[in-house]
Structure 1
Amino acid sequence: MASSIHEMLRANCKCDDVAKCVLGLKNLDLLAYKKLFEQGPMTAEELGDLLQRERSTAYRSLQNLIAVGLVYRETRSIQIGGYYYEYVAISPQQFKQMLKHNITDWYNKMNKLLDDFEKELFDFFPE
Protein backbone atom coordinates (compact mmCIF):
# COMPACT_ATOMS: atom_id res chain seq x y z
CA MET A 1 0.00 0.00 0.00
CA ALA A 2 1.18 3.52 -0.75
CA SER A 3 2.33 5.47 2.30
CA SER A 4 1.37 8.96 1.11
CA ILE A 5 -1.32 10.62 -0.95
CA HIS A 6 1.27 11.46 -3.59
CA GLU A 7 2.20 7.77 -3.85
CA MET A 8 -1.47 6.74 -3.91
CA LEU A 9 -2.17 9.09 -6.82
CA ARG A 10 0.71 7.57 -8.79
CA ALA A 11 0.09 3.96 -7.77
CA ASN A 12 -2.44 1.51 -9.08
CA CYS A 13 -4.65 1.56 -5.97
CA LYS A 14 -7.51 -0.80 -5.29
CA CYS A 15 -10.64 -0.28 -3.23
CA ASP A 16 -9.09 -2.19 -0.32
CA ASP A 17 -6.19 0.29 -0.29
CA VAL A 18 -8.59 3.23 -0.13
CA ALA A 19 -10.60 1.62 2.68
CA LYS A 20 -7.45 0.84 4.69
CA CYS A 21 -6.11 4.35 4.19
CA VAL A 22 -9.34 6.24 4.90
CA LEU A 23 -10.44 4.14 7.89
CA GLY A 24 -7.04 3.08 9.22
CA LEU A 25 -7.72 -0.63 8.85
CA LYS A 26 -5.41 -3.60 8.43
CA ASN A 27 -5.63 -6.45 5.91
CA LEU A 28 -7.06 -8.77 8.57
CA ASP A 29 -9.74 -6.23 9.48
CA LEU A 30 -10.96 -6.07 5.88
CA LEU A 31 -10.85 -9.84 5.56
CA ALA A 32 -12.89 -10.13 8.77
CA TYR A 33 -15.45 -7.63 7.42
CA LYS A 34 -15.75 -9.57 4.14
CA LYS A 35 -16.19 -12.91 5.91
CA LEU A 36 -18.80 -11.45 8.27
CA PHE A 37 -20.75 -9.98 5.40
CA GLU A 38 -20.57 -13.17 3.30
CA GLN A 39 -21.32 -15.62 6.13
CA GLY A 40 -23.70 -13.50 8.19
CA PRO A 41 -23.67 -12.75 11.92
CA MET A 42 -21.25 -14.76 14.04
CA THR A 43 -19.35 -14.77 17.30
CA ALA A 44 -15.71 -13.75 17.67
CA GLU A 45 -14.83 -17.41 18.17
CA GLU A 46 -16.60 -18.46 14.96
CA LEU A 47 -14.90 -15.67 13.04
CA GLY A 48 -11.53 -16.67 14.48
CA ASP A 49 -12.10 -20.24 13.28
CA LEU A 50 -13.10 -19.01 9.83
CA LEU A 51 -10.01 -16.78 9.60
CA GLN A 52 -7.82 -19.52 11.12
CA ARG A 53 -6.76 -17.13 13.88
CA GLU A 54 -7.09 -17.06 17.65
CA ARG A 55 -10.37 -15.73 19.03
CA SER A 56 -8.50 -12.83 20.61
CA THR A 57 -7.06 -11.81 17.22
CA ALA A 58 -10.52 -11.96 15.61
CA TYR A 59 -11.88 -9.94 18.54
CA ARG A 60 -9.27 -7.18 18.02
CA SER A 61 -10.27 -6.93 14.35
CA LEU A 62 -13.93 -6.81 15.36
CA GLN A 63 -13.17 -3.98 17.79
CA ASN A 64 -11.40 -2.06 14.99
CA LEU A 65 -14.38 -2.63 12.70
CA ILE A 66 -16.85 -1.53 15.37
CA ALA A 67 -14.80 1.60 16.07
CA VAL A 68 -15.08 2.73 12.42
CA GLY A 69 -18.73 1.67 12.07
CA LEU A 70 -18.39 -1.29 9.68
CA VAL A 71 -19.63 -3.81 12.23
CA TYR A 72 -22.02 -3.73 15.16
CA ARG A 73 -22.76 -6.31 17.81
CA GLU A 74 -26.04 -7.75 18.93
CA THR A 75 -26.72 -9.42 22.27
CA ARG A 76 -28.19 -12.90 22.06
CA SER A 77 -29.81 -14.61 25.06
CA ILE A 78 -29.10 -18.17 26.05
CA GLN A 79 -32.23 -20.07 27.15
CA ILE A 80 -30.61 -21.47 30.27
CA GLY A 81 -29.42 -18.01 31.24
CA GLY A 82 -26.69 -15.68 30.14
CA TYR A 83 -25.91 -14.09 26.82
CA TYR A 84 -23.33 -13.84 24.06
CA TYR A 85 -22.50 -11.38 21.30
CA GLU A 86 -22.93 -11.83 17.58
CA TYR A 87 -21.22 -9.43 15.22
CA VAL A 88 -22.94 -8.11 12.10
CA ALA A 89 -21.36 -6.35 9.10
CA ILE A 90 -23.05 -3.38 7.45
CA SER A 91 -23.79 -3.68 3.73
CA PRO A 92 -21.16 -2.87 1.09
CA GLN A 93 -23.40 0.00 -0.05
CA GLN A 94 -23.30 1.50 3.46
CA PHE A 95 -19.52 0.91 3.55
CA LYS A 96 -19.15 2.75 0.24
CA GLN A 97 -21.25 5.68 1.46
CA MET A 98 -19.16 5.85 4.63
CA LEU A 99 -15.96 6.01 2.57
CA LYS A 100 -17.42 8.69 0.30
CA HIS A 101 -18.51 10.73 3.31
CA ASN A 102 -15.09 10.47 4.96
CA ILE A 103 -13.28 11.38 1.75
CA THR A 104 -15.59 14.37 1.19
CA ASP A 105 -15.04 15.55 4.77
CA TRP A 106 -11.28 15.21 4.35
CA TYR A 107 -11.38 17.04 1.01
CA ASN A 108 -13.36 19.93 2.51
CA LYS A 109 -11.01 20.13 5.48
CA MET A 110 -7.95 20.19 3.20
CA ASN A 111 -9.50 22.90 1.02
CA LYS A 112 -10.18 25.02 4.11
CA LEU A 113 -6.57 24.60 5.22
CA LEU A 114 -5.33 25.53 1.76
CA ASP A 115 -7.42 28.70 1.79
CA ASP A 116 -5.09 29.94 4.56
CA PHE A 117 -1.96 28.36 3.10
CA GLU A 118 0.11 31.50 2.52
CA LYS A 119 -0.78 33.00 5.89
CA GLU A 120 0.09 29.82 7.76
CA LEU A 121 3.21 29.17 5.68
CA PHE A 122 4.66 32.59 6.45
CA ASP A 123 3.57 32.45 10.11
CA PHE A 124 5.58 29.25 10.31
CA PHE A 125 8.73 30.94 8.95
CA PRO A 126 9.10 34.14 11.01
CA GLU A 127 11.23 36.87 9.48
Structure 2
Amino acid sequence: MPSTCVKAPVSQIPSHFPHFLHPRTIIKPAVFIHNLFKLKGIDRFCTNCAKHRIIMPRSIPEMIRGNFKCDDIAKCILGLKTIDIDAYKVLVIKGPMTAESLGEILTRERSTAYRSLQNLMTSGLVHRETKTITEGGYYYEYKALEPAKLKEMVEGNIDDWYNKMKKIAANIDKEIMK
Protein backbone atom coordinates (compact mmCIF):
# COMPACT_ATOMS: atom_id res chain seq x y z
CA MET A 1 0.00 0.00 0.00
CA PRO A 2 1.45 3.39 -0.93
CA SER A 3 2.52 5.58 1.95
CA THR A 4 0.17 8.42 0.98
CA CYS A 5 -2.85 6.42 2.17
CA VAL A 6 -4.30 7.35 5.54
CA LYS A 7 -5.68 4.57 7.71
CA ALA A 8 -8.81 5.68 9.52
CA PRO A 9 -11.15 3.99 11.99
CA VAL A 10 -14.69 3.40 10.77
CA SER A 11 -15.96 6.25 12.95
CA GLN A 12 -13.85 8.68 10.89
CA ILE A 13 -15.00 7.50 7.46
CA PRO A 14 -16.67 10.46 5.70
CA SER A 15 -20.47 10.43 5.67
CA HIS A 16 -20.50 10.26 1.86
CA PHE A 17 -18.49 7.01 1.84
CA PRO A 18 -20.65 4.26 0.23
CA HIS A 19 -21.91 1.66 2.72
CA PHE A 20 -21.23 -1.30 0.46
CA LEU A 21 -17.51 -0.61 0.43
CA HIS A 22 -17.02 -1.47 4.08
CA PRO A 23 -19.08 -4.06 5.95
CA ARG A 24 -19.28 -2.11 9.23
CA THR A 25 -20.68 1.13 7.87
CA ILE A 26 -24.41 1.74 7.46
CA ILE A 27 -24.33 4.71 5.11
CA LYS A 28 -26.26 4.32 1.86
CA PRO A 29 -24.63 5.48 -1.39
CA ALA A 30 -26.05 8.83 -2.43
CA VAL A 31 -24.98 9.16 -6.04
CA PHE A 32 -23.17 7.20 -8.69
CA ILE A 33 -19.92 9.15 -8.42
CA HIS A 34 -19.34 7.92 -4.86
CA ASN A 35 -19.42 4.36 -6.12
CA LEU A 36 -16.41 5.11 -8.29
CA PHE A 37 -14.24 5.54 -5.19
CA LYS A 38 -13.71 1.81 -4.89
CA LEU A 39 -11.76 1.52 -8.14
CA LYS A 40 -8.20 0.31 -7.87
CA GLY A 41 -5.09 2.37 -8.42
CA ILE A 42 -6.21 5.70 -7.04
CA ASP A 43 -4.26 6.41 -3.91
CA ARG A 44 -5.95 8.69 -1.36
CA PHE A 45 -8.01 7.24 1.53
CA CYS A 46 -8.08 3.76 3.05
CA THR A 47 -10.21 2.19 5.74
CA ASN A 48 -8.44 0.44 8.57
CA CYS A 49 -9.67 -2.97 7.53
CA ALA A 50 -6.90 -4.72 5.57
CA LYS A 51 -9.33 -7.22 4.07
CA HIS A 52 -11.62 -4.47 2.73
CA ARG A 53 -9.08 -1.72 2.09
CA ILE A 54 -10.64 0.87 -0.19
CA ILE A 55 -9.01 3.82 -1.86
CA MET A 56 -10.78 7.09 -2.63
CA PRO A 57 -9.65 9.43 -5.39
CA ARG A 58 -9.35 13.14 -4.84
CA SER A 59 -10.86 14.17 -8.15
CA ILE A 60 -12.69 13.08 -11.28
CA PRO A 61 -9.51 13.44 -13.41
CA GLU A 62 -7.89 10.83 -11.15
CA MET A 63 -10.84 8.53 -11.77
CA ILE A 64 -10.59 9.08 -15.51
CA ARG A 65 -6.92 8.09 -15.46
CA GLY A 66 -7.80 4.94 -13.47
CA ASN A 67 -7.79 1.46 -14.97
CA PHE A 68 -11.52 0.96 -15.67
CA LYS A 69 -12.94 -2.38 -16.79
CA CYS A 70 -16.51 -3.24 -17.79
CA ASP A 71 -17.10 -5.17 -14.56
CA ASP A 72 -15.84 -2.22 -12.49
CA ILE A 73 -18.17 0.19 -14.23
CA ALA A 74 -21.20 -2.11 -13.89
CA LYS A 75 -20.44 -2.75 -10.20
CA CYS A 76 -19.86 0.90 -9.58
CA ILE A 77 -22.91 2.31 -11.28
CA LEU A 78 -25.34 -0.36 -10.10
CA GLY A 79 -23.85 -0.77 -6.60
CA LEU A 80 -23.03 -4.46 -7.05
CA LYS A 81 -20.23 -6.70 -5.80
CA THR A 82 -17.96 -9.03 -7.77
CA ILE A 83 -20.00 -12.07 -6.71
CA ASP A 84 -23.16 -10.34 -8.00
CA ILE A 85 -21.59 -9.74 -11.41
CA ASP A 86 -20.36 -13.36 -11.48
CA ALA A 87 -23.88 -14.56 -10.66
CA TYR A 88 -25.33 -12.37 -13.42
CA LYS A 89 -22.85 -13.79 -15.96
CA VAL A 90 -23.75 -17.37 -14.99
CA LEU A 91 -27.47 -16.64 -15.37
CA VAL A 92 -26.92 -15.06 -18.78
CA ILE A 93 -24.80 -17.97 -20.02
CA LYS A 94 -26.60 -20.93 -18.40
CA GLY A 95 -30.14 -19.56 -18.32
CA PRO A 96 -32.72 -19.54 -15.50
CA MET A 97 -31.87 -21.49 -12.34
CA THR A 98 -32.46 -21.77 -8.62
CA ALA A 99 -30.31 -20.16 -5.93
CA GLU A 100 -29.05 -23.63 -4.99
CA SER A 101 -27.91 -24.40 -8.55
CA LEU A 102 -26.29 -21.00 -8.84
CA GLY A 103 -24.44 -21.55 -5.56
CA GLU A 104 -23.07 -24.86 -6.83
CA ILE A 105 -21.79 -23.28 -10.05
CA LEU A 106 -20.22 -20.37 -8.16
CA THR A 107 -18.88 -22.80 -5.51
CA ARG A 108 -20.58 -20.74 -2.81
CA GLU A 109 -23.22 -21.49 -0.21
CA ARG A 110 -26.85 -21.23 -1.30
CA SER A 111 -27.33 -18.32 1.11
CA THR A 112 -24.48 -16.41 -0.57
CA ALA A 113 -25.98 -17.06 -3.99
CA TYR A 114 -29.37 -15.95 -2.66
CA ARG A 115 -27.91 -12.64 -1.35
CA SER A 116 -26.37 -11.99 -4.76
CA LEU A 117 -29.68 -12.74 -6.43
CA GLN A 118 -31.42 -10.33 -4.05
CA ASN A 119 -28.88 -7.62 -4.99
CA LEU A 120 -29.41 -8.35 -8.68
CA MET A 121 -33.20 -8.21 -8.30
CA THR A 122 -32.94 -4.90 -6.43
CA SER A 123 -30.83 -3.47 -9.24
CA GLY A 124 -33.30 -4.76 -11.84
CA LEU A 125 -30.90 -7.16 -13.57
CA VAL A 126 -32.69 -10.34 -12.46
CA HIS A 127 -36.28 -11.32 -11.87
CA ARG A 128 -37.68 -14.45 -10.29
CA GLU A 129 -40.52 -16.70 -11.28
CA THR A 130 -42.43 -19.06 -9.02
CA LYS A 131 -42.45 -22.63 -10.30
CA THR A 132 -44.95 -25.16 -8.98
CA ILE A 133 -43.89 -28.67 -8.00
CA THR A 134 -46.47 -31.24 -9.18
CA GLU A 135 -46.33 -33.16 -5.88
CA GLY A 136 -47.01 -29.90 -4.02
CA GLY A 137 -44.96 -26.87 -3.13
CA TYR A 138 -43.03 -24.38 -5.17
CA TYR A 139 -39.55 -23.00 -5.82
CA TYR A 140 -38.09 -19.84 -7.31
CA GLU A 141 -36.23 -19.72 -10.58
CA TYR A 142 -34.11 -16.65 -11.37
CA LYS A 143 -33.66 -15.21 -14.84
CA ALA A 144 -31.22 -12.49 -15.92
CA LEU A 145 -32.04 -9.55 -18.16
CA GLU A 146 -30.27 -9.52 -21.50
CA PRO A 147 -26.84 -7.81 -21.53
CA ALA A 148 -28.25 -5.19 -23.93
CA LYS A 149 -30.66 -4.13 -21.14
CA LEU A 150 -27.74 -3.95 -18.70
CA LYS A 151 -25.99 -1.64 -21.14
CA GLU A 152 -29.09 0.57 -21.36
CA MET A 153 -29.34 0.72 -17.56
CA VAL A 154 -25.68 1.68 -17.15
CA GLU A 155 -25.86 4.31 -19.89
CA GLY A 156 -29.10 5.69 -18.42
CA ASN A 157 -27.55 6.01 -14.96
CA ILE A 158 -24.49 7.74 -16.41
CA ASP A 159 -26.74 10.16 -18.32
CA ASP A 160 -28.81 10.88 -15.20
CA TRP A 161 -25.67 11.53 -13.16
CA TYR A 162 -24.20 13.74 -15.88
CA ASN A 163 -27.39 15.82 -16.15
CA LYS A 164 -27.55 16.23 -12.38
CA MET A 165 -23.91 17.36 -12.24
CA LYS A 166 -24.47 19.80 -15.14
CA LYS A 167 -27.38 21.41 -13.25
CA ILE A 168 -25.28 21.77 -10.13
CA ALA A 169 -22.30 23.11 -12.09
CA ALA A 170 -24.50 25.68 -13.88
CA ASN A 171 -24.90 27.62 -10.62
CA ILE A 172 -21.60 26.85 -8.97
CA ASP A 173 -20.31 30.42 -9.40
CA LYS A 174 -23.23 31.76 -7.32
CA GLU A 175 -23.71 28.85 -4.93
CA ILE A 176 -20.10 28.47 -3.87
CA MET A 177 -20.00 31.97 -2.40
CA LYS A 178 -23.02 31.45 -0.10
TM-score by length of 1: 0.91
Q: Which residue of 1 aligns with 2:113?
A: 58
* Shift of residue 80, structure 1, vs aligned partner: 1.2
Q: Which residue of 2 aligns with 1:111?
A: 166
* Shift of residue 11, structure 1, vs aligned partner: 1.4
Is 1:93 the equivalent of 2:151?
no
* Gaps in structure 2 of 5+ consecutive residues: 1-38, 41-55
Q: Distance in 2 between matches of 1:99 and 1:19?
A: 7
Output one character per residue of 1:45-71: Cα deviation in whole Å (capped at 9) or x when no partner.
110111000111111110110001110
1:72 pairs, out of 124, 127, 145, with: 127
Q: Give the CA RMSD over aligned residues.
A: 1.2
Q: Distance in 1 between matches of 2:67 and 2:75?
A: 15
* Shift of residue 83, structure 1, vs aligned partner: 0.9
* Shift of residue 12, structure 1, vs aligned partner: 2.3
* Shift of residue 7, structure 1, vs aligned partner: 3.2
Q: Which residue of 2 aligns with 1:26?
A: 81
Q: Which residue of 2 aligns with 1:49?
A: 104
1:11 pairs, out of 41, 66, 71, with: 66
Q: Which residue of 1 aligns with 2:138?
A: 83
Count of residue pairs the alignment pairs up: 123
Q: Which structure's relative contact order is higher, taking Cα pairs within 8 Å and 6+ residues apart?
A: 1
Give the aligned residue type for 2:144: A
* Shift of residue 29, structure 1, vs aligned partner: 0.5
Paired residue secondary structure (1:60): helix
Paired residue secondary structure (1:113): helix
* Gaps in structure 1 of 5+ consecutive residues: none
* Alpha carbons of structure 1 residues 54 and 20: separation in structure 2 relative to 1, 3 Å: same
Q: Which residue of 1 aligns with 2:175?
A: 120
TM-score by length of 2: 0.66
Output one character per residue of 1:83-113: Cα deviation in whole Å (capped at 9) or x when no partner.
1100000011111011111110110011011
* Shift of residue 120, structure 1, vs aligned partner: 2.1
Name the % identity. Answer: 59
